[in-house]
């Protein structure tokens, strides 16, 4: 175990996130639960306060939220190379499986109705519930912050989509500045300065340059893979709200030009739902489906990099400035409110889509509750809960 503000080897970061990439079923909200279990509770790399700060940054930026948190954690341990190691470990398992599926593996064709997938959804429910409870104890321990969290839940449920999420964050900012300006919140430990502001500025500049350059090149080119890479980069650069929100944008990139048919796209979506890791990994499937052989393999990985690169550049570009911003009294007060609102965002996601898609019968509820008790009271590792509930789901379906 290593504490906050200590460096970690690249191989160590890679192996930890590779394990998460293999076992983190359930989508972005569940990933946050797995991260908290792995890095706040077990390894104590982060405090709940710092973890919530990273989550707030990722929520405010476009791109794949859960993967950006993984990149941030890697960056805090080993700089930019650590962020790359975290991304490779977390994303490659699902990316490789998606490429394999594109090349003809039919095992996942009925994955959306498989019993084991139902069990994985119940495991995700237990993991998210445990994370929400733990973060609420730290970040919303009093009536003021609990009320902010409740307001965030109501806002997101009544106003679905990215607009509701941004409104909830805005409520947290305003409430924090109003209620906590005179307090001195616990900072939870300073963020290690392993990247630097000059490097951060360079990364943000690269983000803009690549966005403009790809758009210009795509306008001048009729080559499908060039336009596909441009479309995927733009999707990763402009979408808020995670994997499910980006899917319509990806469909608009590859289906109307005829590079993929609707049935193939839907099959890839079903496989992405069934696999661990980020849903953005569907980009590897799209690229691999557009060509055959080595060309398909190369295009699959090119599309994978294209969709994740904007989020990588943005979050690492912003992190060096975050420490200075959060040290200001007004910003810290706002962050106190934002962190409480983040608890509300996770609470809303616990209901929809996690609960609504996982619990259909009383037995489902009982199994999810058993998983929660195993995590919260018996301290069973999350990967063990995932495996056991997946097996139970398969047996029940059989």
Q: What is the DSSP string of 201-222?
A: HHHHHHHHHHHHHHHHHHHH--
Place of tokens 């099959």: 267
- For residue 107, what pLDDT is reported? 47
Structure tokens at 45: 């790399």
- For residue 99, what pLDDT is reported? 94
Place of tokens 């289906």: 255
Average pLDDT over residues 337-347: 87
pLDDT band at 327 (very low <50, low <70, confident <90, very high): confident
Residue 172, pLDDT > 90, answer yes
pLDDT band at 322 (very low <50, low <70, confident <90, very high): confident
- Using CA atoms, how far apart are residues 106 and 101, in angstroms rounded to an integer? 7
Q: What is the pLDDT of residues 347-369, one digit of tens each?
A: 888 888 789 888 999 999 999 99
- Using CA atoms, how far apart are residues 60 and 63, in angstroms rounded to an integer? 10
Residue 171, pLDDT > 60, answer yes
How many C-beta neighbours within 10 Å does residue 187 have?
16
Average pLDDT over residues 143-170: 89
Whole-angstrom CA distances from 163 to 156, 166, 250 are: 8, 5, 20
Q: What is the pLDDT of residues 294-319, one digit of tens each?
A: 999 999 999 999 999 999 999 999 99
Whole-angstrom CA distances from 382 to 2, 5, 29, 54, 73 are: 20, 25, 14, 21, 19
pLDDT band at 106 (very low <50, low <70, confident <90, very high): very low
Choose the most confident range, by mean pLDDT, from 53-57, 136-140, 366-370, 390-394: 366-370
The pTM for the full model equals 0.81
Q: What is the mean pLDDT of the chain?
A: 86
CA quadruple 315, 135, 119, 242: dihedral, nearest 10: -30
- Least confident stretch, 91-100, 172-181, 267-276, 331-340: 267-276
> Domain limits of the chain?
197-313
Structure tokens at 16: 């930890």
Q: Cβ(76)–Cβ(82) under 8 Å?
A: yes
pLDDT band at 60 (very low <50, low <70, confident <90, very high): confident
- Which helix (H) or strand (E) element contains residue 235? helix 224-238
Q: Cβ(185)–Cβ(263) under 8 Å?
A: no
pLDDT band at 84 (very low <50, low <70, confident <90, very high): very high
Choose the most confident range, by mean pLDDT, from 15-29, 49-63, 79-93, 282-296: 79-93
Average pLDDT over residues 272-284: 87
pLDDT band at 74 (very low <50, low <70, confident <90, very high): very high
Residue 187, pLDDT > 70, answer no
């Amino acid at each position: 175990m290593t504490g906050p503000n200590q460096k970690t080897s690249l191989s160590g970061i890679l192996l930890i996130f590779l394990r998460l990439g293999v076992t983190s079923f359930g989508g972005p909200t569940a990933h946050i639960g797995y991260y908290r279990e792995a890095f706040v509770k077990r390894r104590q790399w982060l405090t709940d306060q710092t973890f919530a700060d990273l989550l707030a940054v990722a929520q405010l930026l476009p791109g794949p939220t859960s993967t950006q948190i993984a990149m941030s954690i890697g960056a805090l341990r080993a700089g930019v190379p650590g962020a790359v190691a975290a991304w490779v470990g977390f994303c490659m398992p699902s990316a490789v499986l998606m490429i394999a599926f594109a090349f003809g593996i039919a095992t996942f064709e009925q994955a959306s109705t498989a019993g084991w997938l139902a069990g994985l959804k119940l495991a995700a429910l237990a993991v998210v519930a445990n994370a929400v409870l733990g973060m609420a104890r730290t970040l919303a321990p009093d009536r003021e912050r609990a009320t902010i969290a409740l307001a965030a839940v109501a806002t997101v449920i009544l106003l679905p989509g990215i607009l509701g999420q941004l409104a909830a964050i805005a409520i947290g900012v305003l409430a924090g500045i109003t209620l906590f300006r005179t307090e001195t919140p616990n900072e939870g430990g300073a963020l290690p300065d392993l990247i630097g502001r000059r490097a951060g500025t360079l990364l943000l500049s690269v983000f803009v340059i690549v966005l403009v350059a790809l758009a210009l090149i795509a306008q001048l080119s009729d080559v499908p893979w060039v336009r596909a890479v441009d479309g995927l980069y733009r999707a990763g650069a402009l979408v808020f709200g995670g994997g499910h929100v980006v899917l319509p944008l990806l469909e608009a990139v590859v289906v109307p030009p005829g590079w993929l048919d609707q049935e193939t796209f839907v099959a890839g979506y079903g496989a992405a739902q069934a696999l661990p890791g980020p849903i953005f990994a569907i980009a590897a499937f799209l690229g691999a489906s557009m060509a055959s052989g080595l060309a398909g393999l190369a295009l699959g990985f090119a599309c994978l990099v294209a969709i994740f690169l904007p989020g990588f550049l943005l979050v690492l570009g912003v992190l060096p400035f975050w420490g200075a911003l959060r040290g200001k009294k007004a910003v810290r007060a706002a962050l106190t409110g934002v962190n409480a609102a983040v608890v509300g965002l996770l609470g809303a996601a616990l209901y929809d889509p996690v609960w609504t898609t996982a619990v259909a019968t009383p037995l489902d509820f009982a199994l999810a509750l058993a998983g929660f008790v195993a995590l919260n009271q018996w301290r069973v590792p999350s990967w063990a809960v995932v495996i056991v509930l997946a097996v139970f789901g398969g047996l029940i379906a059989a």
